[in-house]
């Protein structure tokens, strides 16, 4: 890609390599964004659409919040580490792990158990490479909420593995969004 470089009143066109790293290129495009883009195109074509793909609050995600989430995983994961993700999960979770050079490990969950993480499945998935188990309660996209007792049992398992750093988003339930936006 060509770009202009200016120095001491001289402008020169130079070639600049803006290719992305293999790590970034390995992340698959977001299906949520693809569906949102399709809905937008249909709406622009005059087709009535009820948008259910992406959460669309009337405010942008705070940059500091988005950066903090990415930094948290990047700063604790090294290449080859594993990020444990209970399925069903938010579509971007595996991509975030890959961006941190970590390997997403998807654990099966069952509809009969409200898509909550099974303790035996968690125990059997933990290895010497496990670093971050991601736990979302209120879960996106299932809406499942972990009961306090199950969270305590998961915490007991994580506590037995000093290498693990649990990552969740329960703070969202108590955030004062109006105050944050001021």
Query: Where, residue-wise, is CATH 3.40.640.10 in the chain?
Result: 59-181
Q: What's the confidence (pLDDT) of residue 126?
A: 96
Q: What's the confidence (pLDDT) of residue 83?
A: 92
The enclosing H or E element of 39 equals helix 31-44
Q: What whole-number distance in Å separates Cα of residue 35 and Cα of residue 51? A: 9
Nearest by Cα to 131 from 103, 157, 107: 103
What pairs with residue 167 in β-bridges?
Answer: 134
| 17 pLDDT more than 50 | yes
Q: What whole-number distance in Å separates Cα of residue 122 and Cα of residue 153? A: 11
| 11-15, 92-96, 114-118: which is most confident | 114-118
Q: What's the confidence (pLDDT) of residue 173?
A: 47
Q: What's the confidence (pLDDT) of residue 182?
A: 47
Mean pLDDT computed over 56-71: 64
CATH class of 59-181: alpha beta
pLDDT category, 65, cuts 50, 70, 90?
low
Q: What whole-number distance in Å separates Cα of residue 182 and Cα of residue 179? A: 5
Nearest by Cα to 93 from 80, 103, 81, 79: 103
One-character DSSP codes across 51-89: --SS---SSPPPHHHHHHHHHHHHHH--TT-EEEEESS-
């Amino acid at each position: 890609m060509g770009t202009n470089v200016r120095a001491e009143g001289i402008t020169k066109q130079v070639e600049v390599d803006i290719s992305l790293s293999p790590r970034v290129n390995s992340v698959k495009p977001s299906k949520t964004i693809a569906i949102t883009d399709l809905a937008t195109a249909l709406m622009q074509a005059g087709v009535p659409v009820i948008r259910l793909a992406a959460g669309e609050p009337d405010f942008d995600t705070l940059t500091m919040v988005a950066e903090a989430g990415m930094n948290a995983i990047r700063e604790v994961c090294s290449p080859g580490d594993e990020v444990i993700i209970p399925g069903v999960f938010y579509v971007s979770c595996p991509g975030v792990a890959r961006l941190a050079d970590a390997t997403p490990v998807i654990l099966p969950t069952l509809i009969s158990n409200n898509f909550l993480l099974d303790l035996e499945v968690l125990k059997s998935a933990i290895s010497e490479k496990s670093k971050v188990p991601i736990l979302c309660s209120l879960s996106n996209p299932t809406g499942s909420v972990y009961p306090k007792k199950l969270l305590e049992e998961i915490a007991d398992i994580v506590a037995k593995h000093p290498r693990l750093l649990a990552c969740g988003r329960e703070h969202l339930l108590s955030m004062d969004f109006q105050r944050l936006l001021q």
